[in-house]
Amino acid sequence: MPINNQPADSQLATVGQLIQHATHAVAFTGAGISTDSGIPDLAGIAAILNADKTFHGDVFHLLDPSFATRDPATFYRLYRQTFFHPDARPNAAHHFLAQLATTGHLAGVVTMNIDYLHQLAGSQNVAEYWGDLRQNHCIHCQQAYDWDTIAQQPIPHCHTCGQLVLPDFVQRNLATYPAAIQKGHQLLAQADLVLIIGTQRNVTSFPKNVPKIVVNSDQPRIGDKQTIYIQTKAASFFEKLALYL
């Protein structure tokens, strides 16, 4: 299948047919799938941090566990502007993928996001490489806290020992979860179609000889011949695509 840059609308029928013929499609999603749910991507997060008058650093500085422990007030103030949006709701793209699983076309979702929106949309088989916002622990006694505790307390502290509670992905220094990575690799290895949504990850890092559909608002990149590039926002594209299935 040739790489093409036709307007997204003219590709809807082609993409719809590919999906309908798939029995083990796998979606790989990044921040771009959630921007329409009001969650900033890395560029948006960088803009928020740059605009802040008191914080001088990048996203890695913000997420450094030693910084978050030393200055929890600044960490949590900026965390709530950037990553932590427990009131965000899934958009048409998340809902489309959840629906695709119920009709037997989609085997699972592999995501680099921590926003939990795939599960809120109803997706059940989700490999989260970095976990999600619902996973938080006390830095001292390791008691677990769900995101309601983080939402309720400006600077959340442990009910048991009084120490600071931090998100797991921060405490883990952004380490991925090996079990999730393994699950993701297994899903992708068996895929008969890969939907790569809202991420700049290069298609060459995905299994060869499998049709791929890339939906991203960035400029299309050169990939292999089995890749269809759709340069658009994910939510609007999948909202239209749902009418073709």
Interface with Zn ion by CB under 5 A: which residues?
138, 140-141, 143, 158, 160-161, 163
- The token pair at 204 is 């060459």
Measured between alpha carbons, how far apart are the two ends of the chain, in Å?
21
**Nearest-approach distance from CB 73 to Zn ion, in angstroms:** 19
Shorter beta-carbon distance to Zn ion: residue 136 or 199: 136
Shorter beta-carbon distance to Zn ion: residue 125 or 163: 163
Shorter beta-carbon distance to Zn ion: residue 101 or 158: 158
The amino acid that residue 95 corresponds to is H
138 is in an annotated binding site: yes
Buried b (16+ CB within 10 A) or exposed e, 115-135: bbbbbbbebeebbbbbbbbbb
106 is in an annotated binding site: no
**Nearest-approach distance from CB 145 to Zn ion, in angstroms:** 9
**Nearest-approach distance from CB 138 to Zn ion, in angstroms:** 3
Helix H or strand E segment including 168: helix 168-171
161 is in an annotated binding site: yes
**Nearest-approach distance from CB 83 to Zn ion, in angstroms:** 22
Shorter beta-carbon distance to Zn ion: residue 42 or 164: 164
Q: Over 152-201, what HEC string results?
A: HCCCCECCCCCCEEEEHHHHCCCCCCHHHHHHHHHHHHCCCEEEEECCCC
Q: State the binding site for Zn(2+).
A: 138, 141, 158, 161
